[in-house]
């Protein structure tokens, strides 16, 4: 009750000041009268008793001031006085205020914009219940390959059936479907997921339901779940869509649900899943081999290391010593953001330097302004104001500047973060929309307060420490500055210059790295090259022969277009983001097998179109087709690693396309980079006429246009 009474009394003092002052006067008069009467009873006359009582009580104004300053509302009232006086000072100097506020707004706005992205990517938890329990399963391959974010469906089946540390285990992957009916046909990205996937993430559909276990079985009923975006765009947000059929690759799927608008798969590949269908995996993982992404949820009380050890034990039992691989289990959010963490913190550090430079600039402005306020401060010191009171007033003005700069900076951050996200979005994972939430608002407010103290404390201490004698001596010269002030300003200028030079050097190194990246030899020539990717519908082109025939017709048609010099095709073009690989390939005449090798299936003119040099042997020809001897080409890295000091042309490598078949190496070509941040990998090429795939990227070399 005492706290409530104290609060009530303080609020009454703040909002009924005249009434409280009147009561205080009456109370002090009553105390004085009582003391005077007590003195008169002891034998004093009226005048003597009044004088003695006043001496004993002291100055009425001093007593009243002591009473005012002994309660919490006095501090609040004094602060309000400082704020009002500070606002008047800033209004009196609009030019200084505008320059300081804009300088701070740029620094605070840039820092807040970067923090908005850092918060959304690194600090904000994944949008699922208990996200800290979600883990991602990866394979650790032998050097030099490292971490592989994919697993096989047979491994997943073993983990699902045998794991005792993960509650549910689920997998997902993506594919493409042709969506027809109810509008223009379109090619969409489709997610394939087990029935446990949405339950694992705790997703509740906006309409309908998720997959049932019996639907995630080979031969189960074909069902689909629409994304909110596809439901809104294609079906006009019609709630009756549940139960209707959609045509995917000429097969009808029944819509059983619609996902909420906030649902997103926050992986680093930024795939826009338009709808989902069951993966339809058997309990044993039987069926065609698939690469999938595996996630799980830790059981309560289970440590990450314990779960990793269990999954690795199950994995080693599957391998039976055939390959040196292991399992890496990591928090899902950490796996998603690990590639972006360092770059985002570097961005945040760089703009923090800019904010510090802005603080130094404003501190210099305050020091210059303090020189013109020396007389004001000297007068306040002369009439009894303490140094602590002066410092508090000057810091209040600095905090007001910082607060105004923070408000303007927050507006700039709200506008600038969209530009920032657009600039670096290709390097960010797919996450919820990046916006200003309570963390960002709290960060901006705290940043403004810390900034105000940072740039205001030193000028305030310096200004409050003036010597009255020196001020009086310098009274004849307006705007005089003392040597100590000049020394402090020079030190701040040196710090500012050093920080600016550090940023300039960092920017120069970054630009130099950019020039180096541009100068990297990719192994091919991309000038005047156009690309077109086609993914075939398996229901229309079920066999490799059908796919090869279609692509052959497309290649001939493109080549006959006017202006086309040459055209080539590849299932995995360089820097295209799509890769295939094979491991443990046997070499004729050797007992040891070739480790992991990347694979690309290409057309005969692919190397000529991309101007990839031939080192030994020959290119593929139109005669390298089905029914002719199986052939292959390799790059220099493959030849150096697997045939050191030998000529590999004419050697044979085990074929994974046909059983009991061998691929004869007929040529060696130059290395081509599949990623800009790593050296070329060993790669083997097959003619698509002998091993077609349902997808191909066509690379068209058009003739150089004539200049007018």
**Residue 135 confidence (pLDDT):** 94
Q: What is the pLDDT of residues 368-405, one digit of tens each?
A: 776 666 666 666 666 556 677 777 777 888 888 888 88
At 360, is the pLDDT very low, low, confident or very high (cuts 50, 70, 90)?
A: confident
**What pLDDT, in 10s, does the model give residues 161-209?**
899 999 889 999 988 888 887 778 888 889 999 999 999 999 999 999 9
Of 583 and 244, the structure prediction assigns the larger pLDDT to 244
Q: Exposed (0-12), middle (13-18) or buried (19+): which is 390, by Cβ within 10 Å? A: buried
Of residues 520 and 24, which shows the higher confidence score?
520
Q: What's the rounded Cα separation, in Å, for the pair 655 and 632?
A: 10
The number of angstroms, rounded, from the C-alpha of 226 to the middle of its chain's C-alpha atoms is: 27
Q: Assign residue 40 a region: left if phi > 0, alpha if psi is -120 to 50, beta otherwise?
A: alpha
* 206 DSSP assignment: S
Q: Is the pTM of this model over 0.75?
A: no
Cβ atoms of 193 and 213 within 8 Å: the answer is no
CA angle in degrees (0–180, nearest 5) for 555-558-564? 120
Q: Which pLDDT score is estimated for 480?
A: 44
Mean pLDDT in residue range 415-433: 68
Residue 23: pLDDT band with limits 50, 70, 90: low
Helix, coil or strand: residue 325: coil
- Buried b vs exposed e over 321-356: b needs ≥16 C-beta within 10 Å? eeeebebbbbbbbebbbeebeeebeebbebbbbbbb
Range with the largest mean pLDDT of 13-17, 64-68, 312-316:
312-316
Residue-wise pLDDT for 246-259, tens only, equals 998 888 999 999 99
Residues 340 and 428 sit within 8 Å (Cβ to Cβ): yes
- The DSSP code sequence of 546-590 is HHHHHHHHHHHHHHTSTTEEEEEEESS-TTSS--EEE--EEBTT-
Residue 665 contacts residue 633 (beta carbons within 8 Å): yes
What average pLDDT does this structure show over 677-697? Answer: 86
Question: Does pLDDT of 62 surpass 60?
Answer: no
Cβ distance 281 to 287 under 8 Å? yes
CA gap 185, 204 in Å, rounded:
29
Q: Residue 184 carries which DSSP code?
A: S
pLDDT of residue 124: 82
263, 203 contact by CB (below 8 A):
yes
DSSP structural state of residue 140: E
pLDDT for 61 equals: 59
Q: What is the pLDDT of residues 287-324, one digit of tens each?
A: 566 788 999 999 998 999 999 999 999 989 888 877 78
Distance between CA atoms of 226 and 246, rounded to whole angstroms? 10
Structural domain boundaries in the chain: 2-70, 95-121+339-516, 143-324, 529-702
Residue 524 CA neighbour count, 13 Å, CB half: 24
Q: What is the mean pLDDT of residues 448-472?
A: 69
For tokens 């030998």, the residue is 646
Indicate whether 328 pLDDT > 50: yes
**407: Cβ contacts below 8 Å, ≥ 6 apart:** none
What pLDDT score does 125 carry?
Answer: 84
Q: Check residue 537 and give its pLDDT.
A: 79
pLDDT of residue 63: 59
- pLDDT at residue 88 is higher than 60: yes
Comparing CA positions, the residue from 285, 268, 246, 466 lying closest to residue 373 is 466
Specify the pLDDT at position 686.
92
Q: How far is CA 68 from CA 17, 56, 79, in A?
A: 11, 20, 14
Cα–Cα nearest to 673, from 598, 568, 602: 598
Token reading at 52: 């003695």
With a CB cutoff of 8 Å and minimum separation 6, the contacts of 637 are 671, 679, 680, 681, 682, 683
E strand or H helix at 330 = strand 326-331
- For residues 602 and 574, the answer to whether their CB atoms sit within 8 Å is no
Q: Residue 84: its pLDDT value, please?
A: 81
């Amino acid at each position: 009750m005492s706290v409530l009474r104290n609060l009530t009394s303080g609020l009454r003092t703040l909002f009924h000041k005249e009434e409280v002052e009147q009561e205080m006067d009456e109370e002090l008069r009553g105390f004085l009268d009582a003391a005077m009467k007590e003195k008169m009873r002891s034998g004093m006359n009226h005048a003597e008793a009044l004088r003695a009582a006043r001496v004993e009580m002291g100055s009425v104004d001093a007593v009243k001031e002591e009473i005012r300053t002994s309660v919490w509302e006095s501090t609040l009232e004094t602060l309000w006085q400082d704020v009002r006086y500070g606002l008047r000072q800033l209004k009196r100097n609009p030019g200084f205020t505008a320059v300081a506020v804009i300088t701070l707004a740029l620094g605070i706005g840039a820092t807040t914009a970067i923090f908005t992205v850092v918060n959304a990517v690194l600090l904000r938890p994944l949008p699922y219940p208990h996200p800290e329990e979600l883990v991602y399963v990866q394979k650790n391959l032998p050097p030099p390959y490292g971490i592989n974010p994919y697993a096989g469906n047979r491994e997943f089946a073993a983990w699902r059936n045998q794991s005792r540390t993960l509650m549910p285990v689920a997998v997902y992957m993506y594919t493409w479907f042709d969506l027809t009916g109810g509008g223009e046909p379109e090619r969409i990205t489709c997610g394939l997921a087990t029935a446990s996937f949405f339950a694992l993430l705790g997703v509740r559909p906006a309409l309908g339901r998720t997959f049932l276990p019996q639907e995630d079985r080979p031969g189960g009923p074909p069902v689909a779940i629409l994304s909110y975006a596809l439901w809104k765009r294609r079906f006009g947000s019609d709630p009756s869509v549940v139960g209707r059929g959609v045509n995917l690759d000429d097969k009808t799927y029944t819509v059983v649900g619609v996902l909420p608008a906030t649902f997103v798969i926050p992986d680093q590949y930024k795939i826009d899943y338009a709808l989902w269908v069951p993966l339809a995996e058997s309990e044993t993982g039987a069926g065609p081999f698939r690469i999938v992404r595996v996630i799980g949820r830790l059981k309560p009380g289970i440590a990450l290391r314990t779960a990793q050890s269990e999954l690795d034990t199950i994995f080693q039992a599957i391998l039976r010593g055939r390959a040196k691989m292991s399992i890496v289990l990591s928090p899902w959010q950490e796996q998603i953001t690990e590639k972006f963490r360092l770059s985002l913190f570097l961005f945040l550090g760089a703009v923090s330097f800019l904010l510090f430079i802005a603080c130094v600039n404003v501190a210099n402005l305050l020091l210059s302004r303090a020189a013109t306020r020396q007389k004001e401060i000297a007068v306040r010191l002369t009439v009894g104001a303490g140094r602590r009171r002066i410092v508090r007033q000057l810091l209040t003005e600095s905090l007001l500047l910082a607060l105004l700069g923070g408000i303007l900076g927050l507006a700039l951050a709200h506008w600038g973060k969209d530009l920032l996200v657009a600039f670096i979005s290709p390097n960010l994972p797919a996450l919820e929309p990046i916006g200003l939430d309570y963390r960002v608002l709290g960060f901006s407010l705290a940043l403004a307060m810390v900034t105000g103290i940072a740039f205001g404390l030193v000028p305030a201490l310096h200004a409050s420490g003036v010597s009255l004698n020196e001020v009086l001596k310098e009274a004849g010269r307006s705007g005089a500055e003392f040597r100590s002030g000049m020394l402090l300003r020079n030190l701040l200028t040196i710090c500012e210059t050093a920080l600016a030079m550090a940023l300039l050097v960092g920017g120069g190194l970054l630009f130099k790295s950019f020039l180096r990246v541009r100068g990297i030899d990719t192994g091919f020539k991309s000038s005047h090259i156009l690309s077109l990717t086609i993914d075939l519908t398996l229901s229309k082109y079920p066999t490799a022969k059908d796919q090869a025939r279609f692509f052959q017709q497309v290649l001939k048609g493109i080549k006959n277009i006017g202006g086309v010099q040459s055209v080539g095709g590849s299932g995995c073009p360089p820097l295209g983001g799509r890769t295939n690989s094979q491991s443990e390939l046997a070499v004729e005449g050797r007992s040891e097998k070739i480790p992991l090798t990347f694979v690309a299936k290409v057309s005969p003119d692919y190397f000529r179109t991309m101007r990839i040099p031939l080192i030994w042997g020959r290119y593929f020809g139109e005669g390298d087709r089905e029914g002719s001897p199986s052939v292959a080409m390799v790059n220099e890295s493959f030849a150096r690693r697997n045939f050191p000091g030998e000529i590999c042309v004419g050697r044979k490598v085990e074929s994974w396309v046909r059983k009991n078949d061998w691929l004869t190496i007929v040529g060696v070509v130059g290395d081509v980079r599949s990623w800009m941040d790593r050296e070329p990998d060993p790669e083997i090429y097959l003619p698509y006429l002998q091993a077609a795939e349902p997808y191909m990227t066509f690379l068209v070399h058009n003739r150089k246009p004539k200049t007018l």
